[in-house]
A and B are shown apart, each in its own frame.
Chain A
Amino acid sequence: MSDLSIRALSKAFGGVHAVREVSFVIERGEFLAMIGPNGAGKSTCFNMINGQLAPDSGEILFENRNIAGLRPREIWRLGIGRTFQVAATFHSMTVVENVQMALISHAGETYHLWRPAAELHRAHALDLLQQVGMRDAADKPSRVLAYGDVKRVELAIALANEPRLLLMDEPTAGMAPRERNELIALVKRLVVERGISVLFTEHSMDVVFAFADRIIVLARGRLIADGTAAAIRDNPKVQEVYFGTGKTFAAKASP
């Protein structure tokens, strides 16, 4: 069963066609990487799926329901979690309160006026922090965390609504290489345990080729390739797009 099915998605800003007729699917439990050079339309694509942008045309079917044009909070309620390219937490709250806030929202308790929020879902929040390895920092103000740790906390927040699909826009941007591999390995382990599907964009090819089940490639707003790591490696179109830029993977195929 496909979890998310994108059909002919398009978005233009003025005269610039950021995303043109892009179609792909994510199967349940799949770890799908979206790659492409800068300006390929990855973030625009992402922001249409998570609701920050409304597409000009096309369909985004999540579990057979068209979510194109819904607001971010509505999409989240349907069971889609996300992390941000530039990690964002609530800086006036502690680490555990950040996770509690998401749990409170998930439980529909946002408008409650009486019981102190600090007592609500604390155990559950600590458990999520434990899973991302941030249990020890639970009561620190979230603004004092190192960037890599903020990314982990974001992951805990994203898991709070028990999502069936997780959207991660450059989850390892701004991290050191070792941290990157650790974080992605962590994500992979968690989603396999929970059967979550993941769509992520990534610039580090090491990470992509080591972890992704399948890879789709965007260039100038169009989908130019869709396949397994090996197929993408050998795809002449992909090689052309990346040629001379980030040659972090060597072409094996003979011309």
Chain B
Amino acid sequence: MTLNALLFQALNGLSSASSLFLVAAGLSLIFGVTRIVNIAHGSLYMLGTYIAYSLAMHIGGALGFWGGIVATAVVVGILGALIEIVLLRRIYRAPELFQLLATFALVLIINDAALWIWGPEDLLGPRAPGLRDAIEILGRHLPTYDLFLIFVGPVVLIAMHLALARTRLGRLVRAATQDREMVGALGVNQAILFTVVFALGSALAGLGGALQVAREPANLSTDLTAISDAFVVVVVGGMGSIGGAYLAAVIIAEVKALCIGIGVLHIAGMALNFSKLTLVAEFLVMAIVLIVRPYGLLGRVQAAVRSIAEPEEPIRAATPTFKLFATAVLVILIFMPLLARNSPYTLVLGIDVLIAVLFATSLHFIMGPGGMHSFGHAAYFGLGAYGAALLVKWLGAPMSVALIAAPAVALAGGLLFGWFAVRLEGVYLAMITLAFAQIVWALVFQWEELTGGSNGVIGVWPPPPFDKSGFYFLLTLALTALGVFLLRRFLFAPFGYAMRAGRDSPLRAEAIGIHVKRVHWLGFAIAGCVCGIAGGLFAFAKGSISPETIHVQRSIDGLVMVLLGGIQTLTGPIVGASLFATLQDTVMRQTEYWRALLGGIILVLVLAFPGGIVGAFTRLFTKRAAVT
């Protein structure tokens, strides 16, 4: 590997940094002012590529390409404004997590809309008119378009900096980033400010996507990749810092480029393949940065947004009616294998639902009472699943041993990752949990010798009598009921109270001798451990597992389940998980556009039941009680 080759890779890195920056800058701008973490930002980027492709193909020529790119930015900006006016404006006062959920619903809807309009094939756009050639630099050929991209990033950075520093709108944006309530109190029309900022941020995402049209094909999976890349960049650079975003984009793109450039390196007889690191490189960078600088490279401690979420009711021990109801449900479930003798599908669905319940309840344990919004709970599910499956595969371990190992492996993961995670708060905590989940995913994906890589592990079947779905259902029911019962018990015990105390008021909790970080750390580990049981059960239920098990999609499914049911209630995750898993297994299978359907359902729920389903019921009953 020569120095020239390294430098050349560094140039390549710079051109990738520009598009990373465009997406991230828009996200950062929107977050700074509206405090909304817009997951649909990646979808706007994806739409940018598709729209630019269509314009370039239909109009053609330089006008179609270059004019198309500008037009795309405008169109996506308008779309962003529409999204803000129609949807987000209704939920600014909702809890932060609900906003996440709503924007996630948009991801699903936009993805299916793109599938409907452009179809499932990858679409490769034309090469840029006027910049088709490559020039020779350092003895290699660099496409002139890449060279052009290298300059786009800094130009946009400077333009944004000037706009923020010199214009009236820029001053308002900076003021709102520091204290939006004060800006509102000074008589600024927040509604218009928010819409404009959202439109600008969206236009940047659209521009970023459009510029990719000559480099990479339009693809339906770019929405999630773009948003996770953008998140990493924003978090590394510091939320709300545009300069930080560029710095972070450069660092991450360079690290990735260098990993590819270095390739396989032989150190002391060991072959180390650096190019394999690209999948985790950005998450490693993020984990390191967050540990050293918890608010990002150029970020500052966030001014606390005065809490606008509805306060939580004190938890009450189960009433006799509730106990009776729970027992009745449990009894019906125990007789399920008999009742559903003739419909094996019902039992399979039942197993899926039970596993989802355990998964969601363990996530709720840290999200609700712990106040730690984990975006990477799939990691512990995956650790449990792989822990069990690999024991069976390599050591021929019996199911009983594998099912004990599953929570143990997940507990170890929870202890390790949790130790870092509890040092952070809010969005930063969410992002580092996501980073850890991605690292686990990449590890599983790339360590083919051990895990089978993308093929996964097959042949993980339960021994008789559990090979009959009726018996496996009962086993799943027993472990799920045990897990849910234990977690509930912990929440009513001093430990659960201490966890809530640390969430409600960390200062006050420390002032009465509670080691808040340690309590939250152990809570994190307990949740991981219980989630591992769900993972182990999943492996034997499916007979095979793949890296899909740990995919970010699963983490988000968990969030949706918890929020659907209602985060402030203890039965919420159970109801939410049951509903979600049932919908996923039944309605979703009926249509090609299940994502949009799910997104639509989520939006309705978010707008109609901001306290989740169980929360809505509770309120209904308390109102009734107040009337009578």
Interface residues of B in 518-542 (CB under 8 A from A): 519, 522
Query: Which residue of chain A has the shortest Cβ distance to B315 in the bound complex?
Result: A92
Segment with Cβ contacts to B, from A55-63, A83-91, A194-202: A83-91
Contact A97 B497 (CB under 8 A): yes
Contact B314 A97 (CB under 8 A): yes
**Distance in angstroms between the alpha carbons of A23 and B392 in the assembled complex:** 68
Q: A90-B501, A111-B495 are in contact. Are A116 and B314 (CB under 8 A)?
A: no
Contact B515 A73 (CB under 8 A): yes
Identify which of B317, B493, B508 contacts A112 (C-beta below 8 A). Answer: B493
B269 within 8 Å of A (CB atoms): no
**Residue among B495, B509, B513, B515 with max Cβ neighbours from chain A (10 Å):** B513
Contact A110 B519 (CB under 8 A): yes
Q: A88-B505, A90-B505, A92-B314 are in contact. Are A110 and B495 (CB under 8 A)?
A: yes
**Distance in angstroms between the alpha carbons of A13 and B493 in the assembled complex:** 41
Residues on A with beta carbons closer than 8 Å to the beta carbon of B314:
92-94, 97, 141
Instruction: Assign chain A's interface to a size class.
Output: 35 or more
**Min distance, Cβ B316 to any Cβ of chain A, angstroms:** 9
Q: A88-B505, A141-B313 are in contact. Are A71 and B512 (CB under 8 A)?
A: no
**Min distance, Cβ A65 to any Cβ of chain B, angstroms:** 17
Contact A91 B493 (CB under 8 A): no
Instruction: Assign chain B's interface to a size class.
Output: 20 to 34
**Distance in angstroms between the alpha carbons of A117 and B369 in the assembled complex:** 15
**Distance in angstroms between the alpha carbons of A4 and B312 in the assembled complex:** 39
**Residue among B313, B494, B497, B522 with max Cβ neighbours from chain A (10 Å):** B494
**Min distance, Cβ B508 to any Cβ of chain A, angstroms:** 4
**Distance in angstroms between the alpha carbons of A111 and B496 in the assembled complex:** 9
Identify which of B490, B500, B508 contacts A84 (C-beta below 8 A). Answer: B508
Contact A106 B513 (CB under 8 A): yes
**Distance in angstroms between the alpha carbons of A12 and B386 in the assembled complex:** 53
Contact A117 B493 (CB under 8 A): yes
Contact A76 B513 (CB under 8 A): yes
Interface 0/1 of A62-80, CB less than 8 Å to B: 0000000001110011000
**Distance in angstroms between the alpha carbons of A76 and B511 in the assembled complex:** 6
Query: Which residue of chain B has the shortest Cβ distance to A108 in the bound complex?
Result: B513
B514 within 8 Å of A (CB atoms): yes
A229 within 8 Å of B (CB atoms): no
Residues on A with beta carbons closer than 8 Å to the beta carbon of B515:
73, 110
Q: A84-B507, A97-B314, A105-B498 are in contact. Are A161 and B513 (CB under 8 A)?
A: yes
B619 within 8 Å of A (CB atoms): no
Q: A73-B511, A93-B504 are in contact. Are A112 and B312 (CB under 8 A)?
A: no
Residues on B with beta carbons closer than 8 Å to the beta carbon of A218:
none
B311 within 8 Å of A (CB atoms): yes
A188 within 8 Å of B (CB atoms): no
**Min distance, Cβ B490 to any Cβ of chain A, angstroms:** 5
A102 within 8 Å of B (CB atoms): yes
Identify which of A52, A111, A112, A161 contacts B512 (C-beta below 8 A). Answer: A161
Contact B312 A92 (CB under 8 A): yes
Identify which of A52, A71, A110, A113 contacts B490 (C-beta below 8 A). Answer: A113
Interface 0/1 of B600-624, CB less than 8 Å to A: 0000000000000000000000000
Contact A120 B513 (CB under 8 A): no
Residues on A with beta carbons closer than 8 Å to the beta carbon of B311:
91-92, 141, 143
Identify which of B493, B495, B497, B513 contacts A77 (C-beta below 8 A). Answer: B513
Interface 0/1 of A24-63, CB less than 8 Å to B: 0000000000000000000000000010100000000000
Interface residues of A in 116-135 (CB under 8 A from B): 116-118, 120
**Distance in angstroms between the alpha carbons of A73 and B505 in the assembled complex:** 14
Residues on B with beta carbons closer than 8 Å to the beta carbon of A114:
489, 493
Residues on A with beta carbons closer than 8 Å to the beta carbon of B522:
111
Residues on B with beta carbons closer than 8 Å to the beta carbon of A115:
493-494
A101 within 8 Å of B (CB atoms): yes
B510 within 8 Å of A (CB atoms): yes
Inter-chain pairs besides A90-B508, A101-B501, A141-B311, 20 sampled, C-beta below 8 Å: A52-B507, A72-B507, A73-B514, A84-B507, A89-B508, A90-B509, A91-B505, A92-B313, A92-B500, A93-B497, A101-B497, A102-B513, A110-B514, A111-B522, A116-B493, A117-B492, A118-B492, A141-B313, A143-B311, A160-B512
Q: Can you list 9 residue pairs at the A/B interface with Cβ under 8 Å?
A: A73-B510, A90-B504, A92-B312, A101-B512, A109-B494, A110-B513, A117-B497, A141-B311, A157-B512
